[in-house]
Amino acid sequence: MNPTQASSITVTPLSFFLDFKNATSVPLNETVCENWREIHHLVFHMANICFAIGLVIPTTFNLHMIVLRAMLTLGCALFIIWATLFRCALDIMVWNVVFLLVNLLHFIYLVYKKRPIKIDKELSSLYKRMFEPLHVPPEQFQRLTGQFCNIQILKTGQAYAAEDKTSVDDRLSILLKGKMKVSYRGHFLHNIYPCAFIDSPEFRSTQMNRGEKFQVSITADDNCKFLCWSRERLTFFLESEPFLFEIFKHLIGKDITNKLYSLNDPTLNDKASQKMDQQPSLCSQLSVMQMRNSMASSSDSEDGLQHFLRGTSTASSLRNNQQEFYSSCGASRLQHDAFC
């Protein structure tokens, strides 16, 4: 390489920087727009108005995300029309086609999530009375009642659970229609009305201890219809649904509290039970089976039962024993409240 070629190579970068310096030192009046272009077509402005409307919708509005996506989709469609028919800009059209598809898919998904969920007619009263006041969405309730539970029927006199025979580990049920009665050794304890758990005390008391039997008998006093879950599958499902798990804890605790009150007042009817809205506390953690069996906790009540079973007690002594039993239930309840 001769010296002339070397000098030309070394001079070229210097001349480039000098030209760039001269290019950037243009007078100020030459960089300012003196002649503005004409205003764009109305379609362009309509697209921007759609974007503005979508962005100013407050988040407190229930359907704000759906409206936002709808406005963005409409705005992108107008931009495509403007870029294709009035601007002839391929890049603007392509980008807005991409944005249009993204927003349209999101809009369809949000509308699908907001679709009305049709709850089975047999379960609608259960949902409105127990789950809707706790803000359980219909789709979650549908999942809860759709896959691993079934509706079963008991005729009058048929047994849901037999004392010391039926296992408590198999199921959890809510009464939908009819009336059931709970008895212990032939003595009536309380009734179970629609939209109440049938075996909530056993469900709570045996969460840690499996293999136990019902300590009471539960029979249908009318033709009954109830919703029955497989306990194992329900437990597995609730572990994956923290919100529903807390809802079930609340409902079962509340149901146990209502049963505690009904032990003190066996004449409690369905309308009165609907008005009971006690918050679950430590009271709901204790097993009602102990309350149901409280007649056997005192020697007087046990003696009365033995006399009753032997058929040797008179009507007056039986009446006295029943009074002692309910008194013992009341005393246990007072001690229970004092503890809570």
Q: What is the per-residue DSSP string for 242-279?
A: HHHHHHHHHHHHHHHHHHHHHHH-TT--HHHHHH--PP
DSSP classification of residue 159: E
For the chain, list residues with pLDDT below 70.
1-31, 207-209, 265-340
Q: What pLDDT does residue 287 have?
A: 39
Tokens 């009150």 map to which residue?
261
For residue 107, which amino acid is it?
F
Rounded to 5 degrees, φ, ψ at 232 are: -65, -45
Would you give the distance in Å from CA 245 to the centre of its chain? 8
Can you tell me the distance from the alpha carbon of 129 to that of 310, in angstroms, rounded to the nearest whole number? Answer: 44
Q: What pLDDT does residue 269 have?
A: 56
User: Helix, strand, coil % (nearest 5) of the chain?
Assistant: 60, 10, 30
Q: What pLDDT does residue 164 have?
A: 87
Q: What pLDDT does residue 102 have?
A: 96
Q: What pLDDT does residue 39 have?
A: 81
Can you tell me the distance from the alpha carbon of 212 to that of 163, in angstroms, rounded to the nearest whole number? Answer: 11
Q: What pLDDT does residue 322 have?
A: 39
Q: How many Å from the N-terminal Cα to the C-terminal Cα in the chain?
A: 101
Q: What pLDDT does residue 201 have?
A: 87
Rounded to 5 degrees, φ, ψ at 59 are: -70, -15
Can you tell me the distance from the alpha carbon of 252 to that of 255, in angstroms, rounded to the nearest whole number? Answer: 5
Cβ(265)–Cβ(281) below 8 Å: no
Beta-carbon contacts of 115 under 8 Å, excluding residues fewer than 6 positions away, are: none
